């Protein structure tokens, strides 16, 4: 917290959330639960209970500066369409960094694990960035820019990284609509790669809570953290656990690379997924012990998180 005019003012009181996808909404909810009314910035001016809507395009530097205003903390949860990462994502981040530099706000960026590239060990935050894909290279370069901005004193920065998201409202994810929606309705979950490969997945409410905790701890800035993530289990076990929670028979279909390429001829998102298939062909394990030890936040038990997600999909599909 900081002190202003004899009154205690908490760092999070003037928080801005960029983006209102599942992660942005969850970050906003974590702030609202703390009695904070964050400003939520989207291009359409999305209204979320307990928040202040703001319509702006943060890809435009002037729009970003206006949206950030006098914020004390900015949570960067916005991203372009998957197939436009290389063209649009770095420019969006630079625009946001400039806005935070002007306001003096702390910037907490939500990231994923693409920058590490294929590894054969559990992923920790001190792994070098060795991407082998286009989107991985984008992620690695963006983190290098954020770290440089922090070390040069331009902006106070931290990153919170997560594996594939899942949770209420998460649709556009490997463990989103294509996984949960058919399975909870008695059909077959769609999975990528090997059903026996272990794959860590991150529950969105855990990611959001982690981002807020990092934001309010100055000693946590200047580095990346892995959000609390349950131990990796096989994709087959994920199907079975979700089926138990939904009261249906476990069933899945493994989508083949050639099928993705075929669909990718007309679907840019599917086309962009092909280069990331290495994550599903082998064990993809996340070590979030550094965050858990420092902040005392454990991941939501996986069975409970899968049950909550399955219940949301059952309501959404009826």
Nearest residue to 202 (alpha-carbon basis) of 115, 125, 122, 113: 113
Closest CA to 201 of 234, 244, 169, 153: 234
Q: What is the pLDDT of residues 179-218, one digit of tens each?
A: 999 999 999 999 999 999 999 999 999 999 999 999 999 9
The string of pLDDT tens digits covering residues 293-316 is: 999 999 999 999 999 999 999 999
Q: In what order do the strands lie in the sheet with 156-161?
A: 52-55, 39-42, 15-18, 73-76, 106-111, 156-161, 224-226
What are the residue ranges in the chain where pLDDT is below 70?
1-9
221-248 burial: b if 16+ Cβ within 10 Å, else e: beebbbbbbbebeebbbbbbbbbebbeb
3-state SS assignment for residue 4: strand
CB contact at 8 A, 159 and 224 = yes
Q: Where are the domains of the chain?
A: 12-167+202-229+285-301
HSE-up of 280 (CA within 13 Å, CB side)? 21
Name, in order, each residue with C-beta under 8 angstroms of 289's C-beta and a sequence gap of 6 or more.
none
pLDDT score for 3:
38
Question: CA-to-CA distance for 181 and 316, rounded, in angstroms?
Answer: 9
In three-state form (DSSP H/G/I as H, E/B as E, the rest C), the secondary structure along 241-284 is HHHHHHCCCCCEEEECHHHHHHHHCCCHHHHHHHHHCHHHHCCE
SS (H, E, C) 66-103: HHHCCCCEEEECCCCCHHHHHHHHHHHHHHHHHHHHHH
- CA atoms of 83 and 86, how far apart (whole Å): 8
Domain 12-167+202-229+285-301 in CATH 3.40.50.150? The answer is: no
């Amino acid at each position: 917290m900081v002190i202003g005019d004899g009154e205690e003012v908490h760092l999070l009181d003037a928080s801005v959330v960029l983006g209102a996808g599942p992660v942005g909404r969850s970050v906003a909810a974590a702030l609202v639960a703390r009695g904070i009314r964050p400003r939520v910035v989207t291009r359409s001016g999305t209204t979320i209970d307990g928040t202040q809507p703001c319509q702006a395009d943060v890809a435009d530097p002037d729009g970003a500066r206006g949206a950030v205003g006098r914020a004390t903390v900015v949570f960067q949860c916005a991203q372009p369409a998957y197939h436009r990462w290389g063209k649009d994502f770095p420019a969006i981040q630079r625009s946001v960094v400039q806005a935070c530099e002007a306001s003096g706000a702390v910037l907490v960026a939500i990231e994923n694990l693409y920058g590490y590239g294929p590894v054969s060990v559990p992923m920790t935050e001190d792994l070098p960035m060795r991407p082998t894909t286009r989107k991985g290279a984008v992620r690695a370069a963006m983190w290098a820019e954020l770290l440089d901005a922090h070390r040069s004193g331009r902006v106070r920065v931290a990153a919170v990284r997560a594996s594939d998201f899942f949770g209420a409202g998460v649709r556009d994810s490997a463990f989103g609509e294509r996984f949960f929606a058919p399975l909870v309705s008695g059909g077959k979950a769609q999975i990528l790669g090997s059903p026996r490969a272990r794959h860590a997945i991150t529950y969105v409410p855990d990611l959001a809570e982690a981002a807020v905790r990092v934001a309010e701890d100055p000693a946590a800035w200047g580095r990346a953290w892995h959000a609390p993530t349950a131990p990796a289990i096989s994709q087959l076990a994920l199907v079975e656990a979700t089926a138990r929670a939904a009261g249906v028979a476990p069933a899945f279909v493994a989508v083949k690379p050639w099928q993705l390429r075929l669909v990718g001829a007309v679907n840019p998102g599917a086309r962009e997924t092909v280069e990331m298939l290495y994550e599903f062909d082998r064990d993809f394990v996340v070590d979030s012990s550094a965050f858990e030890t420092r902040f005392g936040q454990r991941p939501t038990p996986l069975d409970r998180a899968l049950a909550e997600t399955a219940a949301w999909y059952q309501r959404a599909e009826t």
